[in-house]
Amino acid sequence: MSLNSVERDRRFYLNPFTNLVAKETQEHLVISRGRGVYVYDESGREYIEGMSGLWCVSLGWSEERLVEAATRQMRELPYYHSFTGKLPDVTVELAEKLMEIAPSPLGKVVFANSGSESNDTAVKVAWYYNNQLGRPEKKKIISRMRGYHGVTVISGSMTGLAYAQSGFDLPMSRVIHTDCPHHYRHAEPGESEDAFAARLARNIDELIQKEGPETVAAFIAEPIQGAGGVIVPPETYFRHVQPVLKKHDVLMIADEVICGFGRTGNMFGSQTLGIEPDMMVVAKQLSSGYQPISGLLLSDQIYNTLRDASGKLGMFGHGYTYSGHPVPAAVALETLKIYEERNMVERVRELAPVLQDGIRRFAEHPMIGHVRGMGLIGAVELVKDKATKEQYDPSQKAAATLVSYAQKHGLIVRALPMDAVAFCPPLIIEPSQIEEMLARFALALDDTAKHFGVS
Ligand code: PMP
């Protein structure tokens, strides 16, 4: 094919999360359109989008009601801000709807445009809160290895993955990391899931004591760690962790950017995993990814403290030009209505066994060391040796190889750190489409086994 406009433009595009050195030689997949759970590249080839894009397109690629909601809002009020006491009406309505479905005692929301920004806001709120309470030292944030919280300076610091930090002078000194709750990789021989969870909670306790409880403001966690490898913690993990946080007056921030809005079989992952958040961050499925919008939900207690502080300081000086933008707000509101009308949480519960049992069929495969997941999110972890759990050398790019074979078979899945490959299909997927997705994956796995000489 001669150089068409797309190919020419590509040379000017800094493609995030790719190896920029390899970029010129790398095959790019340029997507032109989508329909249901399928997307189509510029040559018209179909792919099952097994990742909902970046874990966000819950309602698939052709939800007309969201298109109409955006169009209507563009005509009615294409922009208004949320500064100085003014508000778009639709944004107020969205806040009310969110409060209706949020776990109590979260009673206020502050909007932004991305998960990173809202996590950033959560940290600023924790700092502002402690300043108001006369605890200016209480500022450190604990996050977990392999957690993903975004890429702004502070959210990138909290992300416990090397790529978000190497070369960027991160993490900042106020952020400290604790263990990743991945039992398969990090448990001691013979250690039960519960004993592992209890040990990790003790480690957090010791870390807080070592740092000084008067210096630790908050702990941030995804209910299920997504981009770090779809790591489902032991069932009792948060039950062990939360009393430690309470004891030291450390706020619990739940990062629901992936787990929120039905993904795990409850409206929020916090409900599935037993988290009682003081703050909760939502994004992605909030608008089915059709428009950029995120929110930070706050407990009344935190809000009241901020309000008192702003009384002293004159204002709460935080917010963006596009915070609570009416167009994404209208789309998010329509998305939440659709979740309710179509009983989406129940649907996830019904579909979960099709995906979860389906991926567990791969557990027997010689290259698969671990299979995990919950609701409509899951992953397989590739190993070189099942008995010892030895991994492939990173230079062999085992997971990336599997993902590129999957692409050849018309399936988009994602390679994550330590050779995990994730599934996170749109919530509207049909059982037969899950089976088709798994069938395409099985072909890719066979190709990958051949590639690595595994039989
Ligand atoms: N938190 C989690 C759990 C995420 O998965 C992501 C994005 N993958 C983010 C935060 C950051 O969101 P964004 O890319 O919208 O900044």
CB distance 411 to 388 below 8 Å: no
Contact 227 CB / ligand 1 (< 6 Å) = yes
CB 272 within 8 A of CB 377: no
Output phi, psi for 328, to 5 deg.
-60, -35
Share of the chain above pLDDT 70, in %: 96
* Cα 157 from Cα 17, distance rounded (Å): 17
Residues 184 and 231: their CA atoms lie apart, in Å, by 10
390 backbone dihedrals φ, ψ, rounded to 5° = -60, 140
Please give the distance, rounded to the nearest whole angstrom, from the Cα atom of residue 144 to the centre of ligand 1. 15
Instruction: Calculate the alpha carbon distances from 245 to 200, 232, 249, 277 in Å.
Output: 13, 20, 6, 11
Predicted confidence at residue 52, as pLDDT, reads 98
Amino acid at 345: V
Chain segment 245-298, per-residue pLDDT in tens:
999 999 999 999 999 999 999 999 999 999 999 999 999 999 999 999 999 999
Residue 311 and residue 132: Cα distance in Å, rounded?
10
54 C-beta closer than 6 A to ligand 1? yes
CA distance linking residue 117 with residue 128, whole number of Å? 16
Q: What is the pLDDT of residue 3?
A: 46
Ligand 1 centre and the CA of 443: distance in Å? 30
CA 446–ligand 1 middle distance (angstroms): 32
Output the CA 56–ligand 1 centroid distance in Å: 10
Instruction: Write the DSSP string, 301-319.
Output: HHHHHHHHHHHHHSS----
Q: Where are the alpha helices (DSSP H) in 56-186?
A: 64-76, 89-101, 115-132, 153-158, 183-186
Indicate which residue's Cα is closest to atom 13 of ligand 1: 115
Query: Which mutation among 121, 123, 146, 149 tests ligand 1's pocket best, with the greatest number of atoms within 8 A of CB?
Result: 149
Ligand 1 binding pocket includes 422 (Cβ within 6 Å): no
Ligand 1 atom showing the smallest separation from residue 259 Cα:
3
For a pocket test of ligand 1, which of 118, 148, 281 has the largest count of ligand atoms closer than 8 A to its C-beta?
A: 148
Ligand 1 contact, 226 CB (< 6 A): yes
User: What digits encode the pLDDT tens for the residues 9-49?
Assistant: 666 778 888 887 765 555 678 999 999 999 999 999 999 99
d(CA 153, CA 353): 39
pLDDT computed for residue 23 by the predictor = 58
Q: Is 192 helix (H, G, I), strand (E, B) or coil?
A: coil
pLDDT at residue 217, as a whole number: 98
Using a 6 Å cutoff on CB, does residue 269 contact ligand 1?
Answer: no
* pLDDT, position 375: 98
Is the confidence at residue 1, as pLDDT, over 50? no
Give me the mean pLDDT over the 78-107 stretch. Answer: 95
- Per DSSP bridges, beta strands 106-112 and 140-144 are unpaired
CA 331 to CA 336: how far, in whole Å? 9
**In terms of Cα–Cα distance, which of 441, 434, 442 is closest to 351?**
434
For the beta sheet containing 414-416, the strands, ordered from the edge strand earlier in sequence to the opposite edge, are 368-374, 377-382, 420-423, 414-416
Least confident piece of the model among 102-106, 125-129, 228-232: 102-106
Using a 6 Å cutoff on CB, does residue 231 contact ligand 1? Answer: no
CA of 148 relative to ligand 1 center, distance in Å:
7
- Which residue has a Cα nearest atom 1 of ligand 1? 149
Of 310, 330, 245, the closest CA to residue 279 belongs to 245
384 Cα–ligand 1 center, Å: 30
Tokens 């009983």 belong to which residue? Answer: 343
Contact 320, 59 (CB under 8 A): no
Q: What is the mean pLDDT of the chain?
A: 95
Q: What is the mean pLDDT of residues 84-102?
A: 97
Read off the pLDDT of residues 381-440 as tens digits, 9 standing for 90 and up. Answer: 999 999 999 999 999 999 999 999 999 999 999 999 999 999 999 999 999 999 999 999
pLDDT tens digits for 144-198?
999 999 999 999 999 999 999 999 999 999 999 999 999 999 999 999 999 999 9
* Centre of ligand 1 from the C-alpha of residue 257, in Å: 6
Cβ 114 under 6 angstroms from ligand 1: yes
Ligand 1 centroid to residue 259 C-alpha, Å: 11
Is residue 258 lining ligand 1, measured as CB closer than 6 Å? yes
pLDDT at 323: 97
What pLDDT, on a 0 to 100 scale, did the predictor assign at position 18? 82
> C-alpha angle with apex 201: 198 to 203, nearest 5 degrees?
115
Residue 148 Cβ contacting ligand 1 at under 6 Å: yes
For residue 297, is it left (φ>0), alpha (ψ between -120 and 50) or beta?
beta
Average of pLDDT values for 302-329?
95
Number of Cβ within a 10 Å radius of residue 19: 9
Confidence of residue 2 (pLDDT cuts 50, 70, 90): very low
153 alpha carbon – ligand 1 mean position (Å):
13
For residue 393, what is the DSSP state?
A: P
**What pLDDT is stored for residue 6 in this prediction?**
54
Residue 49 pairs in a beta bridge with: 412
Q: Classify residue 166 as exposed, middle or buried by CB count within 10 Å of its CB (0-12, 13-18, 19+).
A: exposed
- Omega prior to 171 cis, within 30 of 0: yes
Query: What pLDDT does 4 receive?
Result: 53
- Residue-level pLDDT at 8: 54
What is the pLDDT, as a whole number, of residue 455? 83
How remote is the CA of residue 283 from the centroid of ligand 1, in Å?
8
- In angstroms, what is the span from residue 159 Cα to ligand 1's centroid? 10
| Comparison of pLDDT for 324 and 7, the residue scoring more | 324
Residue 81 has pLDDT above 80, yes or no: yes
